[in-house]
Amino acid sequence: MKLAQATIKDIARELNVSSSTVSRALKDYPGISDETKKRVKEMAEKLNYRPNAVALSLRKSKSFTIGVVIPEVVHFFFSTVISGIEEVAYKNGYNVILCQTNEKLEREISSVETMLSNQIDGLLVSYSKETTDFSHFIKLMEMELPIVFFDRTPNIENTVNVTVNDFNGGYQATKHLIDQGYRKILHLAGPSNLTISKKRKEGYLAALNEAGIPVDEKLIVECPIANEKESFESCVQLFKDADNRPDAIFAHHDIVAAGAMLAVKSLGLKIPEEVGVVGFSNWQFASMIDPPLTSVMQPGSKIGEKATQILLEMINNKVINPLNMEDLVLDTELLIRKSSLKNS
């Protein structure tokens, strides 16, 4: 047996009918005798016929494929988002083409280009850290390609964005630390060109303000790379001076928090007694480290699901903004664990 797939023509030839008859019979079109319908379906079964999705795409100018552009696959949060996307796409008969940008703008642009070539019906994007110019996306929107941005969303008009409530997440985290009695709260902030970084920081500031704690600019430290090593090194510097050191940390995400915890512990300081720590994203390891890390849970797969549902709606109803909204904001939830519990 060869790779050659049976086509409608093959069925037609075997049965001495025209290919249009076969096409109609397979699709249960009205005006086809039950007799023919039955013969066609049996032959299709026998020849192991399978419709050629490529030919269909060409014919219908619709590929039933959506593109996903994501910074990194090896990233707990993004992997949960991908999972959510895949679930909804699968249930609706759509395929998912995946590209990771490795946080490179150049690759983002070329990936989008490839996907466009492949006639994707819509695009889900979380852009790279390098991306500050969005013209490659704007071009697509002008072409009326449905796009939904998630997690990292651009400051452009008329985009459809699915995010988590980063502001509130930052607020909850910081307020919790304040409630526990911490006062000199260090914020290890994320890359400054990401909206999520800004929002989390604003939440942090809001909680401080509300509590009447003056903001100390020295307690806001950006982590542009946002990995373990970077935050480890920053924290060793910041905490080694015993006189004026922070008594708590609100980190941009759990990896940053983990690096900070290693640094703090390496200086012999106790968590949570001397330093409280809260992370973000609730990575899988958060409950397993020592002490277990309090973290702001983001509903990753729900983000993926929502973003995909909206995208499919845009595709099928040819509506650019189905909910007439700028942003769909999903709630975060603070998961309190030992790392931030001074009072207990």
Residues at the interface with DNA (CB under 7 A): 5, 7-9, 16-21, 23-24, 26-27, 30-33, 35-36, 51-52, 55-56, 58-61
Helical packing angle, 19-26 and 34-46, nearest 10°: 90
- Report if residue 317 touches its own copies, rule: CB under 8 A: no
Distance of alpha carbon 344 from alpha carbon 183, whole angstroms:
17
Using the rule CB under 8 A, is 153 a contact of its own copies? no
Phi, psi angle pair for 134, to nearest 5°: -110, 20
The one of its own copies, DNA, none whose footprint includes residue 33, by CB under 5 to 8 A per kind, is DNA
Structure tokens at 97: 């083409």
As to burial, measured by CB atoms within 10 angstroms (0-12 exposed, 13-18 middle, 19+ buried), residue 144 is: exposed
Interaction of residue 242 with its own copies, rule CB under 8 A: no
For residue 106, the partner it binds in DNA, its own copies, none, with Cβ less than 5 to 8 A by kind, is none
Member of 15, 32, 99, 297 binding its own copies (CB under 8 A): 99
Chain positions 110 to 139 lying near its own copies, rule: CB under 8 A, are 111, 113-119
CB 248 within 8 A of CB 275: yes
Q: Would you list the DSSP string of 67-124?
A: EEEES-SSSHHHHHHHHHHHHHHHHTT-EEEEEE-TT-HHHHHHHHHHHHHTT-SEEE
- The option from its own copies, DNA, none interacting with 86 (CB < 5 to 8 A, set by class) reads its own copies
In the bound state with its own copies, the residue whose beta carbon lies nearer, of 33 and 118, is: 118
Cβ 125 vs Cβ 154: under 8 Å: no
Cβ nearer to its own copies, comparing 82 with 219: 82
**Least gap, CB of 256 to its own copies (angstroms):** 12
Residues binding its own copies (CB under 8 A): 1-3, 50-55, 57-58, 63, 65, 72-76, 79-80, 82-83, 86, 90, 95-100, 107, 111, 113-119, 142-145, 258, 262, 283-285, 288-291, 301
